[in-house]
Structure 1
Amino acid sequence: MPLQTTLTQVEQALAPVRHVMKPILSNPTVMGVWAALVIASVGTLWWDIRERNQALPSLMKGVWALVVLYSGPFGLTVYWYAGRTQISTDSLWRRGFRSTAHCYSGCGAGEVLGFVLLAGLLAVQSSLVVTAGTFSLAYLFGYALTVGPLMQEGVGFGEAMLDALYSETPSITVMEITAIGTDLLIASQAHVSDLLFWGALVFSLSVGFVFAFPVNAALVHLGVKEGMANPAEMGQRTQAQAAD
C-alpha cells in the first residue's frame, strides 16, 4: 500500500480527534488558563529546586525546567514523582520517567524550533518539508543532550555518538512520530499568528511524552538506558557532606 494512501487513511480515522481538539486549542480562554498554569508550575519548580533540591545536577535542573515549560502541571507532576531528591524509593517507572524527560527536553526544543522556523516564520507550505526538517532538528537536539555530557566526562565523540544512536533513537522516533503527527493532524494549515498553531504545538509535545514513556521504560528495563541517576542518592550524599 502506498505511503500516501496509508497516511490518508490514518488522517481520516483520526478526524474526530481533530474536530474535538481544534476548538479547544484555539479557544483564548482555555489557552489563557493553560498559560497561567504553566507560569505557576515553572515558578513552583524553581522554588522547589532552589529551596530543597540544589543537589540535582545542572543538566537535570535544565531538563526539568524545559519539561515543565512544555507540559505545565503534567511536567511538574512527573518531576515531583521521579525527579526530586525526596522520593522515597527509586523504581523502573521513576527511571523511565527521568529517561523520557531527558529525551523530551532536547527533542521538544528541536520540535518547537522546527515548527516555528519552518511552518511559522518561513511559512513552508509542504507538510513533507516541515516534517523532515522538524524531525531532523529533534534528532539533532536529542542526540546533543546525550553526546555533550558524555564528552564532558571524557568520552570520545565517536563513542558518545554511537551510544546516543543506540540508546536514544527508539524513544526519539516514537516521540516525534506521535508529536509531529499530532501537530500536523490538528493544525497543519495554521499560521504562526494563530492561537491554534501554539495550542496544537503544546498539546503535541505532551502527546509525544506519553507515547515515548513506555519505550523508555522498556529500554531501561532491558539495560539499554540507565534511566538517569537516582536523585534521592544525590540528596543523601549532599546531606553527608554537610554533616562532615
Structure 2
Amino acid sequence: MPIQQLVTQLEHTFAPARQLLTPILSSPAVMGVWALLVVASVGTLWWDVRNRNQALPSMMKGVWTLVVLYSGPFGLAIYWYSGRTQISHDSVWRRGLRSTAHCYSGCGAGEVVGILTAQAILGLAIGWVAAITFGFAYLFGYALTVGPLMQEGVAFWESMKDALYSETPSITIMEIVAIGADLLLAASAHVTDVLFWMALAFSLSLGFVAAFPINVVLVNFGVKEGMKNPAEMGDDGRSTRSQAQAGD
C-alpha cells in the first residue's frame, strides 16, 4: 500500500477522534488550566525531591522533571507510584513505569526539538516532519542510555549495542503513537496556535501509555533492568521499606 494511501486511510479512521479533540485542544482556557496544572505538578515534584527524596540519583531527578513537564499531573502520579524512595515495595509494573519514564524523558525532548525544527521553523511537508522528528527522538533516546553507560566505563560501541537492543522497541512504539497523534491533530497548526502546543503535550502522554506495556515485557524478560529500586536509596527509603515488610 502506498504511503499516501495509508496516511489517507488512517486520517479517515481517526477522523471522529480528531473532530472531538481538536476543539478542546484549541481552547486557550484549556491551555491555561493545563499550564497551571503543570506548574503545580512540577512544584510538587521539586518540593518532594528536595525534602524527602534527595537520595535519588541526579539523572532520575532530571528524568522525573521532564516527565512531569511533559505530562503534568499524569507524570506526577507515575513518579509518586514508582519513583519515590517511599514506595512500599517494587514490582515489575513499577520497574516498567520507571523504564518507560527514562525512555520518555529523552524521546520526548527529541520529539519537541524535531517538531519545532521541522514543522514550526522549516515548515516542511508532513513526511519530512515525521522523519526528522523520529530521528531526533531516536538520537535523544539512545543518548540517555549511551551517556550513563560510558560514564560507568563501558566502551562506546558496546554502549550503542546495548541501547539499540534494549531501547529500540520502546522508542519505536512510543514515537509511532506520539508523532502520529500529533500530526493527525495538528499537522497544519502554527507554532503560535494553541493547538500546536496542546496537541504536542497530549501526543507525548499517549506515547508514554503506548510504550508502557512493551517496557513491562522487556523488564520482565530481563532485556531492560527497569532502573534501580528507589526504595533501596537513602535512609528514609530503607526505613520505610523495612516497616512495610514488617507489617506484611
User: TM-score band (shorter)?
Assistant: over 0.9
Could you tell me how far apart the structure 1 residues matched to 2:51 and 2:45 are? 10
Instruction: Determine if the alignment matches structure 1 residue 76 to structure 2 residue 76.
Output: yes
Question: What is the distance in 2 between the residues matched to 1:133 and 1:3?
Answer: 17
8 Å CA contact 2:87–2:231 kept in 1: the answer is yes
Is structure 2 residue 57 aligned with structure 1 residue 57? yes
Per-residue CA distance 1:175-233 (angstroms, 9 max, x = gap): 00000000000000000011100010000000000000001001001110000000000
What SS does structure 2 have at the residue aligned with 1:84? coil
Alignment of 1:159-238 (within 5 A): 159-236=158-235
- Output the aligned Cα RMSD: 1.2
Matches within 5 A, 1:137-176: 137-176=136-175
Cα deviation per residue 1:60-91 (whole Å; 9 max; x = unaligned)?
00000000000000000000000000000000
User: 1:77-127: CA deviations, max 9, x gaps?
Assistant: 000000000000000000000000000000000000011111112222x11
Q: Is the 8 A contact 2:169 2:214 kept in 1?
A: yes
Pick closer, same or farther for the CA change 1:238–1:18 going to 2, 3 Å.
Answer: closer
What CA distance in whole angstroms lies between the structure 1 residues aligned with 2:115 and 2:132? 9
Is residue 231–residue 237 contact of structure 2 (8 Å, CA) maintained in 1?
no
State the 1:235 CA deviation.
2.7
**Deviation, structure 1 residue 237:** 8.4
- CA distance in 2 between counterparts of 1:114 and 1:102 reads 19
Q: CA deviation at 1:9?
A: 1.0
Aligned-partner Cα distance in 2 for 1:236–1:51: 13
Following superposition, which runs of at least 4 residues in structure 1 exceed 3 angstroms of deviation? 236-240
Residue type at the aligned position of 1:150: L
Please list the CA deviations of residues 116-147 of structure 1 after superposition, one character each: whole Å capped at 9, or x if unmatched: 111112222x1111110000000000000000
Instruction: Letter of the 1:108 partner, please give it.
Output: G
The answer on whether the counterparts of 2:86 and 2:236 sit within 8 Å (CA) in structure 1 is no
Q: Deviations over 1:10-69 (max 9, x none)?
A: 110000111011100110111100000000000000000000000000000000000000
Distance, in Å, in 1 between the alignment partners of 2:234 and 2:94 is 16
Structure 1: tracts of 5 or more residues without a match: none
* Cα pair distance change 1:30/1:91, threshold 3 Å: same
Q: Is the 8 A contact 1:86 1:235 kept in 2?
A: no
Letter in 2 for 1:26: S
% identical aligned pairs: 70
Corresponding letter in the other structure for 1:59: M
What is the rounded CA distance, in whole Å, between the counterparts of 1:235 and 1:64 in structure 2? 18
2:242 alignment partner in structure 1: none
Residue 32 of structure 1: SS of its match in structure 2? helix
Partner of 1:86: 86
Task: Please list every run of 5 or more consecutive structure 2 residues that lacks an aligned counterpart in the other structure.
Answer: 240-248
Alpha carbons 2:110, 2:138 under 8 Å: kept: yes
CA contact (8 A) 1:135 1:176 kept: yes
Counting matched residue pairs gives 239
Structure-2 separation of matches of 1:191 and 1:10: 22
* Match runs of 1:104-115 below 5 Å: 104-115=104-115
Partner of 2:243: none
Q: TM-score, with normalisation over the residues of structure 1?
A: 0.96
